[in-house]
Amino acid sequence: MTAQHSDSIIALSRWLKTPAGRYALEWEMSQFDQVVADIFGFNAVQIGLLEIPALRNNRMPFIFAADEPVLSEERLGEKPHALAGVRAGAAPVTASLLTRFEELPFAAQSVDLLVLPHALEFADDPHQVLREVERVLIPEGQVVITGFNPASLWGIRQVVGRSVDSPFLPRVGQFLGLPRLKDWLKLLGFEVNRGRFGCYRPPFRSEKWLGRMGFLDYAGDRWWPICGAIYMVSAVKRVPGMRLVGPVWKDRKAASTALAPTAQRGPIHRERPRIAVLEEQ
């Protein structure tokens, strides 16, 4: 990860403490809480932006948090070991990992769930990050991704702000449109199973004006859902030729019943065997 990208992620971490950032954080947390609660398995991993405890509502026994090494030392003065608190309570086993997102330190097909809050937008090679996600996920494993929608008021404000040196969000972020992200997921064998847009209020920096525009969240969900400032999408890793094998007791019972001998009443009439005679021509 370049120094420019790392500075942008740190800037995003600070932006989450602004009124607009808290507004976005609240929406994303509500979406993660709903989605990850119904995903079961053994190992769950959060990649990047650990200020968002995306796995706090998940019930897997092993929770991992992956962060870039350069960020763990610079991120708002926090210590690397403090980044493990991704879930409330002491029931799960949590661990913090320092690694490059393009080279995850997990064996192939060993993770049940991966969450990526804005990780693709600040990676040097977002497609390689997705390839790593596909490698470490088990068949039928799931990935949950959030990102900023470039086709929104926030996206337009970001483009205009860059041109006048006053961006609303961190400058270097490579904001990916949802259609493009879906194409990448499809190429890697993922099947999108749910998605949603949110945060329809204009890109105001003032908490007062953001509060006044709260009615737009309800109107946006109904009238222009694809124009939300943030999207959340989850996908399942599909493996060609794989099918779940269920109990075969019924099939065995049916086969044994079909081949079972049955008793017959009355005399058995046997015909004499017929012999075919070949006549010489």
Give per-residue pLDDT as tens, 166-177. Answer: 888 877 778 889
- Domains, in order of start, for the chain: 3-237 (3.40.50.150)
pTM: 0.77
Pick from 220, 142, 152, 231: which is nearest to 195 by CA?
Answer: 231
Per-residue pLDDT reduced to its tens digit, 53-77? 899 999 899 898 887 665 545 444 4
**How much is the pLDDT for 88?**
45
Distance CA(200)–CA(220), nearest Å, equals 6
Give the per-residue pLDDT at 145: 96
DSSP, collapsed to helix, strand or coil, labels residue 237 as: strand
Average pLDDT for residues 32-61, to the nearest whole number?
Answer: 90
Cα angle 162, 183, 98 (rounded to 5 degrees) comes to 65
* Chain segment 4-19, per-residue pLDDT in tens: 556 667 778 888 899 9
Helix (H) or strand (E) holding 45: strand 43-47
Task: Judge whether 125 and 177 are in contact, CB under 8 Å.
Answer: no
113: left (phi over 0), alpha (psi -120 to 50) or beta: beta
pLDDT of residue 98: 65
